[in-house]
A and B are shown apart, each in its own frame.
With several copies, the nearest count.
Chain A
Amino acid sequence: MEMILEIIESTGFANASVSSLVMMAIALFLLYLGIAKRYEPLLLVPISFGMLLVNFPLSPLMLSPDNGQPGGLLYYLYMGIELGIYPPLIFLGIGALTDFGPLISNPKTLLLGAAAQVGIFITFLGALAFGFSPQEAGAIGIIGGADGPTAIYLTSMMAPHLLGAVSVAAYSYMALVPIIQPPIMRALTTKKERAVVMEELREVSKTEKILFPIVVILITGLFLPAALPLLGMLMLGNLFRECGVTDRLSKASQNELNNIIVIFLGLTVGAKASAEYFLTIQTIQIIVLGLVAFAIGTASGVLMGKLMYKLTGGKVNPLIGAAGVSAVPMAARVCQTVGREANPSNFLLMYAMGPNVAGVIGSAIAAGIFLALLN
Chain B
Amino acid sequence: MYGFDAISANNGWFIAATGVSMVFIGLIVLTLIISQLHNVLALMEKLTAKPEVIPETKPTIRVPPPDPSDVETTARVFTPLIEELPSEFQLSELYALAKEYHLPHPHLSIRCLIENGTLQPLGEGVFIFIPSCEE
Contacts and interface: CB of A to CB of B under 8 A. Distances in A.
Contacts of B37: 104, 208, 211-212, 215
A124 B33 contact: no
Contact of A3 (B11, B12, B20): B11
Minimum-distance CB pairs A-B, first 9: A114-B27, A107-B34, A121-B16, A107-B35, A110-B31, A128-B12, A121-B19, A128-B7, A110-B27
B29 interface: yes
B13 interface: yes
Contacts of A362: 23, 27
A366 B18 contact: no
A124 B15 contact: yes
B20 A131 contact: no
A254 to B, nearest CB: 13
A202 B35 CA distance: 12
A245 interface: no
Interface in B9-54: 10-20, 22-31, 33-35, 37-38, 41
B1 interface: yes
A205 B35 CA distance: 13
Nearest to A3: B14
> For this complex, into which size category does the number of interface residues on chain B fall?
20 to 34
Contacts of A104: 34, 37
B23 A366 contact: yes
Contact of A373 (B18, B25, B31, B35): B18
Given A128-B6, A223-B29, A366 B38 contact: no
Interface of B: 1-4, 6-7, 10-20, 22-31, 33-35, 37-38, 41
B12 A120 contact: no
Contacts, number: 119
Contacts of B29: 219, 223
Given A211-B37, A216-B30, A223-B29, 10 more contacts: A7-B18, A110-B28, A124-B16, A125-B12, A125-B13, A125-B16, A130-B6, A131-B2, A212-B34, A219-B29
Given A107-B35, A373-B18, A365 B12 contact: no
Contacts of A358: 27
Contacts of A137: 10, 12
Contacts of A220: 26, 30
Given A110-B30, A205-B41, A224 B22 contact: yes
A129 B13 CA distance: 11
Interface of A: 3-4, 7, 103-104, 107-108, 110-111, 113-114, 117-118, 120-122, 124-125, 128-131, 133-134, 137, 202, 204-205, 207-208, 211-212, 215-216, 219-220, 223-224, 358, 361-362, 365-366, 369-370, 373-374
9 contacts: A3-B11, A125-B7, A125-B12, A131-B1, A202-B38, A215-B30, A361-B30, A365-B27, A373-B19
A137 B15 CA distance: 11
A104 B20 CA distance: 23
Given A4-B18, A211-B37, A223 B10 contact: no
Contacts of B18: 3-4, 7, 369, 373
Nearest to A106: B35
Nearest to B17: A121
Contacts of B35: 107-108
A3 B21 CA distance: 14
A4 B7 CA distance: 18
B46 to A, nearest CB: 14
Given A104-B34, A124-B15, A207-B41, A129 B7 contact: yes
A129 B1 CA distance: 8
B4 A219 contact: no
Contacts of B26: 114, 219-220, 223-224, 365
B34 A215 contact: yes
B134 to A, nearest CB: 27
